[in-house]
Amino acid sequence: MNNTLNYKGFFASVSFVEEDNILFGKIEGIDDLIMFEGSSVTELKNMFKEAVEDYIEICKQTNKPCLKSFKGSFNVRVKPEIHQRAAMIATAKGISLNQFVQKAIEREIEAA
């Protein structure tokens, strides 16, 4: 099940609160907290689009980048056995562990 929405390059995670019988979402990949809700899927999608449009306008007015910037560097935690196996395969291929991980991530992105 895909619990995300996508609009104009923005992604949102979506959840359901059974007690309140409401769907709510949060825009991901930005430096601010933008949430929205709806009582139906159609309403939720419309509120997401409205939230994105409002956020884009605010960013334009304040001359702020809309999307979070990424450095290209992050820590990854895996089981020691996975780490060892990945390092061995990378060495056998004549590439660094970073290159090995980058290629694996690129394959996953292409498959998505």
The tens digit of pLDDT for each residue in 14-66 reads: 999 889 899 999 999 999 999 999 999 999 999 999 999 999 999 999 999 99
Read off the pLDDT of each residue in 81-101 and give the average, rounded to a whole number: 96
C-alpha dihedral (85, 77, 109, 95), degrees to nearest 10: -40
Helical (H) or strand (E) element with 27: strand 22-28
Q: pLDDT above 70 covers what percent of the chain?
A: 99
Question: Is residue 52 packed enough to be buried (19+ CB in 10 Å), middle (13-18) or exposed (0-12)?
Answer: buried
* Whole-structure pTM value: 0.73
